[in-house]
Amino acid sequence: MTDLSPAGAKDAPVTDAAAAVTLARATGSAPARWTWGQIGLLVVLAVVVLFTVPNPSLAIGMLIFGLWAAGLNLLVGYGGLVSFGHALPFAYGGYAAGLVLKNVTTSAWVALFVATVSMALLSALIGAVCLRRTEVYFSMLTLAFAQLGFFIALQWNDVTGGDDGLAGVPVSTLELGFTTLELNGLRDPLTFFLVTAVIVLLTFAALILFTESPMGRVLQAIRESEERARGCGYNTRLVQLVTFIIAGAVAGLAGGLFAMLNNFVGLQPYWLLSGVVLIMVILGGRSSLFGPFLGAVLYLMLESTLSRYTDSWQFFVGAIFVICVLLFPQGLWGLLTTTVPHLLRRTRGAR
Amino acid sequence: MTGLILKAEGLDRSFGGIHAVKDVSLEVPQGALHAIIGPNGSGKTTLFNLITGHTKPGKGRVEFDGHDITGMPFAKVARRGLAKSYQITTVFPLLTVFENVRIAAQAASHANVFWRPADSIKAVTRRTDEVLEKIGLTADRDAIASNLSHGDQRRLDLAIALATEPRLLLLDEPTAGMSPSETASTVELVRELNREVTILMIEHKMDVILSIASAITVLHQGEKLFEGAPDEVKSHPKVQEVYLTGSL
């Protein structure tokens, strides 16, 4: 599935991601008033992916990457905090799940629980430091931590497998009380897909609840004016830290699922991976949680299609990204919910 | 005697070589509408910042409702019931008018949780509607704040401060940049708000101050020049000399 091999992947998205910081802050419109309906949209998207994407592990990857990107969008779109290090909790969540499955138990529950909780804790520590700064300085700190994490993973051979990656992660089992499912992405991709879809949907619903909760609303107010939010009496740093922890936990969960899918945790450059998930968010649109899912599906589709024809597929993905950003800075979701209805109204008005 | 809601003693602050506020003391009783006037650069906004904790005082102390709040972070001061409206309009630009005010009302309700939808908290939405009605922004409740006219944004700024249910409201030139008719309605609004909440305000327009203030402090080059009722201030020779000459 998504082939982010270090060899050919060193150039393109880094500069794109740099442009993304400025872009990510200029949201340009109020969040669209689609909230709970997004769950329905995600069900539809999952069904479409299930029936149209021929490669099952690509289809499952779309759900996993979508969830990862949606979590990141809490920070980027809702909080105005552009993280350049979101690969870290994803990759380390993968290691956490992989190590549990290899050494402790093959229970998927335990592995995913450990991946999620450990990344929440790690994010609490990292967030407490990074959130001492704002704007681009915050972004640089998150990048620095991701780099630190990358080199630890690279050097710590005994635990992570270093450059070779953590191989031999066993197939996990999911106890459901009445039955026990084997989560084998190769032999039984449909079961894996459905289980992933359920986990992703539940997490997605929880994320929507967060954005609609008093705290989630304050997060958006802080994005608009931190000074004013403080003037209302809010502890703005705490709200941002809670968000950072939630985004990290979701990335850990996604990383754990991804490790279970591949039975392997590879070492990929985190600056690239962080850039990719940021591109998914921006491509899909920052004003909703569903947008990043669209972005993930689109990105992975482009990648798998283009890489069949050319080795320099990243060049084309980069070019498409630049064009999309110039033409629809609000992303695919913004295009569908704002621009298209606006054009329709105009043409109707003209008639 | 009614209690003092705010008591500042010997506030002093320099920035480099500029002595912005020199040994200023201030007492604001409950229910007052206290105004601070003075020419540009006389230290009015710095004095506000010393009170709110935006700027740490070099010397002196601030008591709010009997508690020492000197140098306390602004958010903490705000939680104790001190709200501020801004000289340079500060609202949440891309949120709706309703959400702008709702965020502030939510702060007062202490319902900052994340396991239930914000819109389901009835007390907060009711309070929001009340404040919008009082400020006269009900018709614009669904508009995006940044699309409002300048005057309406000033009023929204005031509405946010009011929705936090403060016991002391600091207004930093509430009529700045307003047209004469907008100014008149804002003055009327401030007078009305004063029935429920103590107000300390900075104002430039003399006619505004003289008609509504219960007490006036005149600042000049960082020092308190005079303090008294509007009539006294108006007739005081020193005040006329430095401030009123040419403006009345």
Q: Which amino acid is at B82?
A: L
Interface predicted TM-score (ipTM): 0.88
Question: What count of CB pairs under 8 Å joins A to B?
Answer: 97
Contact of A216 with chain B, judged by CB distance below 8 Å, is answered with yes
| pLDDT bracket for residue B122 (50, 70, 90) | confident
What are A312's two structure tokens? 């320099």
Alpha carbons within 13 A on the beta-carbon side of A343: 6
A215 with B79: Cβ contact below 8 A: no
A233 with B164: Cβ contact below 8 A: yes
Asked if residue A79 has pLDDT above 70, the reply is yes
Contact of A209 with chain B, judged by CB distance below 8 Å, is answered with yes
What's the pLDDT score for residue B22? 87
Contact of B159 with chain A, judged by CB distance below 8 Å, is answered with no
Residues B67 and B184 in one domain: yes
What whole-number percentage of chain B has pLDDT above 70?
Answer: 95
More confident residue, A66 or A19: A66
More confident residue, A60 or B1: A60
Residues B160 and B172 in one domain: no
Q: Which residues of A160-186 are buried (b: 16+ CB within 10 A; e: fewer)?
A: bbeeebbeebebbbbeeeeeebebbbe
Residues B172 and B245 in one domain: yes
How far apart are the CA of A203 and the nearest CA of chain B, in angstroms?
13
A99-144 confidence digits (pLDDT tens): 999 999 999 999 999 999 999 999 999 999 999 998 899 999 999 9
Residues B53 and B151 in one domain: no
Q: Using alpha carbons, select from A62, A63, A122 the residue that is nearest to residue A91.
A: A122
Residues B17 and B46 in one domain: yes
What whole-number percentage of chain A has pLDDT above 90?
Answer: 63
What's the pLDDT score for residue A351? 55
Number of structural domains chain B divides into: 2
What's the pLDDT score for residue B234? 80
The average confidence (pLDDT) of chain A is 87
Q: Nearest Cβ partner of A227 from B79, B90, B102?
A: B90
How far apart are the CA of B119 and the nearest CA of chain A, in angstroms?
8
- Radius of gyration for the alpha carbons in chain A, expressed in angstroms and rounded: 19
Residues B77 and B173 in one domain: yes
- B 66-95: CB under 8 A from A: 73-76, 78-79, 83-84, 86, 90-95
**Structural domains of chain A ordered from first start:** 12-350 (1.10.3470)
Report the alpha-carbon distance of residue A197 to residue A301 in Å, rounded. 18
- Any idea what DSSP says for residue B2? P
Q: Nearest Cβ partner of B90 from A225, A234, A236?
A: A225
B30-47 confidence digits (pLDDT tens): 999 999 988 888 888 899
A328-342 confidence digits (pLDDT tens): 888 888 888 877 777
A232 with B164: Cβ contact below 8 A: yes
Residues B102 and B50 in one domain: no
Contact of A120 with chain B, judged by CB distance below 8 Å, is answered with no
Asked if residue B20 has pLDDT above 90, the reply is no
Residues B70 and B172 in one domain: yes
What's the pLDDT score for residue B42? 84
What's the pLDDT score for residue B114? 66
In chain B, whose CA is at the least distance from the CA of A35?
B117
What's the pLDDT score for residue B113? 66
Pairing of strands A180-183, A172-175: antiparallel
* Burial category of A108 from C-beta neighbours within 10 Å (exposed 0-12, middle 13-18, buried 19 and up): buried
What's the pLDDT score for residue A215? 93
Residues B159 and B221 in one domain: no
What's the pLDDT score for residue B181? 87
Q: Which of B122, B149, B165 is the last residue of a domain?
A: B165
B112 with A214: Cβ contact below 8 A: yes
| pLDDT bracket for residue A289 (50, 70, 90) | very high
| pLDDT bracket for residue A24 (50, 70, 90) | very low
- B 1-40: CB under 8 A from A: none
3-state secondary structure of B68: strand
What are A262's two structure tokens? 């591949």
Pairing of strands B82-85, B198-202: unpaired
What are A274's two structure tokens? 């962080």
B47-76 confidence digits (pLDDT tens): 999 999 888 888 889 999 888 999 889 999
B74 with A231: Cβ contact below 8 A: yes
Angle at alpha carbon of residue A198, lines to A193 and A204, rounded to 5°: 120
Residues B33 and B156 in one domain: no
B144-186 confidence digits (pLDDT tens): 999 999 889 999 999 999 999 999 999 998 888 888 888 888 8
The stretches of A156-188 forming alpha helices (DSSP H) are: 157-160
Q: Which of A98-112, A237-251, B2-16, B145-159 has the lowest mean pLDDT?
A: B2-16
Q: How large is the average pLDDT for residues A157-171?
A: 89
What's the pLDDT score for residue A108? 94
Residues B60 and B107 in one domain: no
Domain span holding position B124: 85-165
CATH of the domain at B247: 3.40.50.300
Contact of B176 with chain A, judged by CB distance below 8 Å, is answered with no
Pick the residue of A78, A232, A245, A330 with the most B CBs within 10 A to test the interface with B by mutation.
A232
Residues B11 and B134 in one domain: no
What's the pLDDT score for residue B245? 57
- Residue B53 sits at φ, ψ, to 5 deg, of 90, 0
The average confidence (pLDDT) of chain B is 87
Report the alpha-carbon distance of residue A173 to residue A14 in Å, rounded. 38
